[in-house]
Amino acid sequence: MQIYNTLTRRKETFTPLDAGRVRMYVCGITVYDYCHIGHARVMVAFDMITRYLRWRGFEVDYVRNITDIDDKILKRAEENGEPIAALTERMIDAMHEDEGRLGVLRPDREPRATAHVDDIVAMVQRLIDKGYAYPAANGDVYYRVRRFEGYGKLSNRDLDDMCSGARIEVEVAKEDPLDFVLWKAAKPGEESWPSPWGAGRPGWHIECSAMSTCCLGDTFDIHGGGPDLVFPHHENEIAQSEAATGQAYVNTWMHAGAVRVDHEKMSKSLGNFFTIREVLEVHAPEVVRYLLLASHYRSPINYAPDALGEARRSLERFYNALQSVTPVEGDVDARHRERFVAAMDDDFNTAEALAVLFDLARELNRAKQEAPERAPALAYELISLGGVLGLFEQAPADFLQAGAGQLPMTEEEIESRIEARAQAKKAKDFATADGIRDELAALGIVLKDSREGTTWVVEGG
């Protein structure tokens, strides 16, 4: 199995520290607002990775943290006039609801920053004792960036270039403009915890260093996150963790690609910012998941109506192939599974894996016509391999006819109109047949003709 390592900037053979076991940490959400479609990309990508590793026989310990204390959280709670704990619990519940609808399995552990303050304080003290950090006159504690020899190795940045390109700030408490905060002194009235340096709260970067090592050890196999975290967050994690423990922090760094909206960076200021729940009000969850898997996890994704439409049509092809077949485990050509494994072993290449599944769906369609006895086993294989990606977990009719309950016709009435159309076509009354098709289309019911007959789907799903 080959995985692209952001640290070395190349694909490497993946060999876990402990044979058969993978320890993986992914940076989670700062819970002050609803999750957006960029969060969904990371959630789905590492859900897919976890599912595949387990399917390949690895025991996976998947840890994804929750940042439940942060400047943004304090500000939002004040704006809302609600306690911090009430805000964070509400947003955590919403996050779990959103990811559940997208078919994202819960991680094995979800450590919260507020539950690890003692561990964070201990790590900060260790860094001070080793000379990598210092308490400042303003009550904050800072990390000495220049003290860590390997700083910049993940993001491939040079310290002098970073300093010359940095925005100049008046910060008399820092020894060096590049130093970053490990512990923030509390302002009057703010949520705080006791520490040797006074009441305060953790800096964002130190949270993940403390939680990951507490859960997975000083060195672990995979650390993942979004593309915006490479610098400074993950760079700072390396500096903190390796200075504190004296060990290599992570063997393989993985980063999902960005989500762009109509080929532009997603931004509230541009008015193209979408929460997961806003998206799922319009589009079926599996359609959104498929869109997020159709591209390689490291590639940028363009979120746009035409892309979602193509994702919907792709899923319809799979579910139409599975329709009217009862899956039964049996003998099938092993080459489909071998090609699927080869694609996924090549840095989780879901785009190529889906191409294999399309080939399998085409073979299933042929078998339904030419060798019906082979169809159940092919359908079983298609569902099994699709399930590795978290796809095809619905009954075909449930997907294809989702939204039928909101139509002005019952399913029996729709089927009756389809039968009337079939009789009209048989009698060569094509005007009547076309009229029935147009009548149903006006109601959002799309007919799909094939050699097996006519099926229907609800437009847009």
pLDDT interval class at 299 (50, 70, 90): very high
Mean pLDDT for all residues in the chain: 92
Contact 201, 69 (CB under 8 A): yes
Q: Which of 65, 76, 59, 71 is nearest to 28 (CA)?
A: 65
Q: Which of 335, 326, 333, 290 is nearest to 308 (CA)?
A: 290
**pLDDT at res. 409:** 64
Q: pLDDT, tens digit, for every residue of 41-69?
A: 999 999 999 999 999 999 999 999 999 99
How crowded is residue 181: how many other Cβ atoms within 10 Å of its Cβ?
22
Q: Which two tokens stand for residue 219?
A: 């060195």
Q: How far apart are the first and last CA of the chain?
A: 37
The letter for the amino acid at 235 is: E
For 2-256, CATH number out of 3.40.50.720, 3.10.180.10, 3.40.1000.10, 3.40.50.620 equals 3.40.50.620
Q: What are phi and psi of 367, to 5 degrees?
A: -65, -35
Q: What percent of the chain has pLDDT above 70?
A: 93
Q: pLDDT, tens digit, for every residue of 371-384?
A: 999 999 999 999 99
Residue 129 to residues 126, 134, 454, Cα–Cα distance (Å)? 5, 9, 74
Q: Across residues 111-130, what is the average pLDDT?
A: 98
Per CATH, is 260-401 categorized as 3.90.420.10? no
Q: Do the annotations mark residue 205 as ligand-binding?
A: no
pTM of this prediction exceeds 0.85: yes
pLDDT at 243 exceeding the cut of 70 = yes
Place of tokens 């002098």: 160
The alpha carbon of 362 is separated from its chain's Cα centroid by a whole number of angstroms, namely: 29
The residue with greater pLDDT, 146 or 265, is 146
pLDDT interval class at 218 (50, 70, 90): very high
Half-sphere exposure of 71 (CA within 13 A, CB side): 8
Q: Do the annotations mark residue 214 as ligand-binding?
A: no
**pLDDT at res. 445:** 75
Beta bridge partners of 203: none
What is d(CA 425, CA 419) in angstroms, rounded to the nearest whole number? Answer: 10
**pLDDT at res. 168:** 44
**In sequence order, which ranges of 174-230 are alpha helices (DSSP H)?**
204-216
Q: pLDDT, tens digit, for every residue of 172-217?
A: 789 999 999 999 999 998 999 999 999 999 999 999 999 999 999 9
Domain spans in the chain, listed from the N-terminal domain onward: 2-256, 260-401, 411-458
Q: Do the annotations mark residue 237 as ligand-binding?
A: yes
pLDDT at 461 exceeding the cut of 60 = no
Interhelix angle 350-370/334-345, nearest 10 degrees:
170
Q: Across residues 237-251, what is the average pLDDT?
A: 98
Q: Across residues 241-255, what is the average pLDDT?
A: 98
pLDDT interval class at 165 (50, 70, 90): very low
pLDDT interval class at 164 (50, 70, 90): low
